[in-house]
Amino acid sequence: MRKKTFIPVVIIAVLMCLAFVGFKYIDSEIPANATDSNEIKESTPADAIIEGNSNQVTKIVPNLGGVSLRDSPEKVVSELGNDYSESIEIDNAGIIGEDIIVWSYESGIVVSFGKTSGKVIKVVSESADF
């Protein structure tokens, strides 16, 4: 009876040792000169490009068809026009935190707004024209 319990205990102990050694190996791959997470460093935003000297930063806002995240419906109409079909998607799961108004253009671009915020939260294109 002791052999039946001894073998699983040994197997579990060996697996735990291997896991411990594996984690130890992963931790040892961190470079010795890694920066301290408490250090405060200046950095440029991910969507900014530095031109010329480091004091001159030109911010480039990514867009699709002239529409960027957080744009207003008026800005979208000025870029894409009034020829869209509108639908509403209910946020039943509460993932986004508000219902979504969806404008679908025949040109293949779909713009989604937060119903409460009134801002663009998603832009999708099915066309290579954008």
Euclidean distance between the first and the last CA atom of the chain, given in angstroms as a whole number: 72
pLDDT in tens, 103-121: 999 999 999 999 999 999 9
* Domain range annotation of the chain: 1-30, 73-125
Strand spans (E) along the chain: 48-50, 57-59, 84-89, 100-105, 109-114, 120-125
pTM: 0.56
Please calculate the CA angle 9-10-12 and round it to the nearest 5 degrees.
Answer: 65
Helix %, strand %, coil % for the chain, to 5? 25, 25, 50
Higher pLDDT, 4 or 53: 4
| Residue 62 parent element (H or E) | none
Instruction: Say if residue 13's pLDDT is above 90.
Output: no
The residue-averaged pLDDT of 84-104 equals 95
Q: Which two tokens stand for residue 63?
A: 């867009």
